[in-house]
Amino acid sequence: MKTITKLLASTLIAGTVAVGSTVASAAEITVGLVAGLSGGGAQIGQWMVQGAETAIERINAQGEETTFKLVAEDTQWNAQKTVEAFNKLVSVDGASIILVGGSSPLQAVAPLADQQDIILFNIGAQSPAVAGIGRNVFHALQLSDVDIGVMAKYAHDELGLRKLGVMYVNNDTGKFTQAEFVDKFKAAGGEVVAQEAFNQNDSNFGVQLAKLSAAKPDSVYLVGTPAELPFAVKQARQIIPDVNIVSYAGIESQELLDAAGDAANGIVYSTTYFDPKSDAEQVRMFVGEYMERYGGEPVSPYITYTYDAMTILARALSKTGGEAGTALRDKILDIRTFPVITGDTVFRDDGTVVKAIAIKEIRDGAFALRKVIDPQ
């Protein structure tokens, strides 16, 4: 476990923040963030830190009584390291709120959060297995059963795909995601001709792709992590050059674009909708702040998930006088609807949300929007 004290910019920010006019004297709220900040998938963790930093800088600049401080811990997406980071953040840093990325890490610490009355905010986990895992868990994004269903129907109805092959990483996320897509694709009227698994960190997919090729699919649904996806995409283009590749939100990373190159073009996938060119005042403010801080537009939904989480927390804390724990949990559910940069976030009783889904495509080496679908 490694504490990140500087990453792309300072990850430790303090200032004044409008989170509770009833606080009599200046108070500091420590927010922990646990994610993979080095190794495979590190860019996703870095995006999460960027979102939190941008939000905290804006909130703290408002000049009220309470301050936010961010402490980010590098867990390399490992569940045990996440538990260690959680314990350190709570016992050493005094964190009362922790932002968590990754399904297995979130599952590992949810029971601890309930025991110690710590609020957890999911900023990246997509497995439906994390729904309802703790009374103190809230989600800044919809879980994958929502957008997988949208993507499966879109693949069949609008892309005209009929014979599907599946290649997926053999972990909990991969197994669930592919199974859900298969069920929804069949329900839409499609046929699944082959399903092949691979291990995490594999780089040679010749055997799986040969079996898929023999089944003659018109499309392949691909699920993996940033460690495997570039290899899988490049080899798929070589072995089944005419096949359509469809995927899920995990495909969206600069790592994939850099490593897969032109082979990534044409992949269609689903993710949470966010339009950085929106005229909405809240979005324009965020994009301006982000560009000033990092020198480019926010390109990943993981940035917006974390920014939204901090915005929600700040508003709810302003109503609790800066009190976290059960008071904060109850206030989030009391307010229920929060207008944020990815659209209105409306919490269910179990802390989950439903939001607009973007169907996107990798086009000319960039992530391009095809369509926005509201699943509600």
What pLDDT does 64 receive? 65
Question: Across residues 241-246, what is the average pLDDT?
Answer: 97
What pLDDT does 376 receive? 65
**Of the candidates 213, 160, 152, which has an alpha carbon nearest to the alpha carbon of residue 186?**
152
What pLDDT does 3 receive? 40
Question: Across residues 93-117, what is the average pLDDT?
Answer: 96
| Residue-wise DSSP of 187-250 | HTT-EEEEEEEE-TT----HHHHHHHHHT--SEEEEE--TTTHHHHHHHHHHHSTT-EEEE-GG
The reply to whether 145-274+358-373 shares the fold of 2-142+276-355 is yes
What pLDDT does 326 receive? 97
What pLDDT does 127 receive? 83
pLDDT tens figures, 29-76:
999 999 999 987 888 999 999 999 999 999 999 876 677 999 999 999
Q: What is the pTM of this model?
A: 0.79
> Could you give the CA distance from residue 68 to residue 58 in angstroms, rounded to a whole number?
11
What pLDDT does 39 receive? 86
118: three-class secondary structure by DSSP: coil
45: three-class secondary structure by DSSP: helix
Question: Across residues 104-130, what is the average pLDDT?
Answer: 94
> Could you give the CA distance from residue 338 to residue 139 in angstroms, rounded to a whole number?
12
Class of domain 145-274+358-373: alpha beta
For the segment(s) 2-142+276-355, the CATH number from 3.40.50.2300, 3.30.1180.20, 3.40.50.1980, 3.40.50.1370 is 3.40.50.2300
Question: Across residues 306-315, what is the average pLDDT?
Answer: 96
**Of the candidates 368, 373, 367, 371, which has an alpha carbon nearest to the alpha carbon of residue 355?**
373
Q: Delimit the domains of the chain by residue range.
A: 2-142+276-355, 145-274+358-373
- Mean of pLDDT over the chain: 90
pLDDT tens figures, 269-290:
998 888 888 889 999 999 999 9
What pLDDT does 62 receive? 87
What pLDDT does 41 receive? 81
**Of the candidates 65, 53, 51, 62, which has an alpha carbon nearest to the alpha carbon of residue 13?**
53
Cα Rg for the chain, rounded, in angstroms?
20
